[in-house]
Amino acid sequence: MIIRPAPNWFRMLFVWHGSVLKAIIPQLAFMTLVSLLAMYTHGRILGEKIPLNTTPFTLCGVALTIFLAFRNNASYERYWEARRLWGNALIAARTLISQFRHYVPSSSAPFENRRIPRLLIAYAYALKHQLRHSDPSADLARQLGPEQGAALSARVFQPIMLIDEARRHLAALNRAGVLSDTKLWMLDHQLNELGATVGGCERILSTPLPFAYGVLLHRTVYAYCALLPFGLIDSIGFATPLVCVFVSYTLLALEAIAGEISDPFGLAPNNLALDSMTCTIERAVLELCDEALPPATRPGPHYQLT
């Protein structure tokens, strides 16, 4: 995720880091060559004039723009839902710890008062690693200890196992008479919210946008951009490469942005900053427990949070 002060209008024209220009430079170079070829041959291929004008491109361009907008809206909806789910996880973790510390005296359950916050922090790290297909061993060992961290790393659905462990502790307190049924229900509701977050993130991760949909859009964009110079050469002449590259940049960039944010859990510059959000959950939980906080994450040299 790019976090930076808003530049003025002039500097915005030349922003490099955070834009998708780097990813589409080869495609723009190809479109430049096609445009130069059309200008050099005056719209002919193998000596034959390609009978194109601006009319079909106007009609197709409107339809293609609507199609791209729909694809971008679908991708952004996935991105925003993922961000909302992680926000709900932060709210549920804060609420659970606050309720637990006030409803269950530390003198009555000293072990659980130390254990449950660590389980929630480990939950956040385990979910992050599950979504990014990375190794959670180091973070789990740091929160739960080497032995329990290693045992949990062997599990498939680690965040759910951590929720189950926290629920087991709450049920034991309820059976011991430390936690009433009403308070248990309140705390269990927050665990349900954490479980819903896992399920929602798994739904986004395991259900990409339909492949055929992306293939159709990809082919249409490239066919439109490749044929555009032959439809403009007779009307704008030597300005054809400039106009075609600009149009190609707009369409290709929209497609690239949609593809990038449709997988919100990755490490691309415009994906969600899961490292930062996980650290925020850890800091929020530890502050409620009156413990020392780890340093907050800061954007890197290119204004990027991972």
Tens-place pLDDT, residues 122-180: 999 999 999 999 999 999 999 999 999 889 988 999 999 999 999 999 999 999 999 99
Within a domain: 145: yes
Contact (CB, 8 A) for 137 and 153: yes
Q: Please list, in sequence order, all residues whose beta carbon lies within 8 angstroms of the beta carbon of residue 153, skipping any fewer than 6 positions away.
A: 135, 136, 137, 140
From CA 126, how far away is CA 135, in angstroms rounded? 9
Lowest average pLDDT, out of 21-30, 100-109, 164-173, goes to 100-109
pLDDT given for residue 57 in this prediction: 82
Within a domain: 235: yes
Within a domain: 42: no
User: Amino acid identity of 36?
Assistant: L
46: its two tokens: 């193998």
Q: 222: domain range?
A: 25-35+50-288
pLDDT given for residue 67 in this prediction: 84
Within a domain: 294: no
Q: Please list, in sequence order, all residues whose beta carbon lies within 8 angstroms of the beta carbon of residue 113, skipping any fewer than 6 positions away.
A: 100, 101, 104, 106, 289
Whose CA is closest to 93, among 166, 148, 150?
A: 166
pLDDT at 108 over 90: no
Q: Please list, in sequence order, all residues whose beta carbon lies within 8 angstroms of the beta carbon of residue 152, skipping any fewer than 6 positions away.
A: 122, 126, 140, 144, 158, 161, 162
pLDDT given for residue 20 in this prediction: 86
Tally the domains of the chain: 1
pTM exceeds cut of 0.75 = yes
pLDDT at 194 over 80: yes
In terms of pLDDT, which residue wins out, 284 or 45? 284
Within a domain: 304: no
Within a domain: 43: no
pLDDT given for residue 234 in this prediction: 84
In this prediction, residues 188-213 reach a mean pLDDT of: 94
User: Amino acid identity of 118?
Assistant: R
pLDDT given for residue 2 in this prediction: 79
When pLDDT is cut at 50, 70 and 90, the band that residue 262 belongs to is very high
When pLDDT is cut at 50, 70 and 90, the band that residue 76 belongs to is very high
Within a domain: 108: yes
Per the prediction, the chain carries an average pLDDT of: 90
pLDDT given for residue 237 in this prediction: 84
134: its two tokens: 């990375």
Within a domain: 154: yes
pLDDT tens-digit series, residues 204-254: 999 998 888 889 888 999 999 998 998 888 888 888 899 999 999 999 999
Phi, psi of 304 (to 5 degrees): -105, 130
Lowest average pLDDT, out of 23-32, 75-84, 233-242, 243-252, goes to 233-242
From CA 233, how far away is CA 37, in angstroms rounded? 10
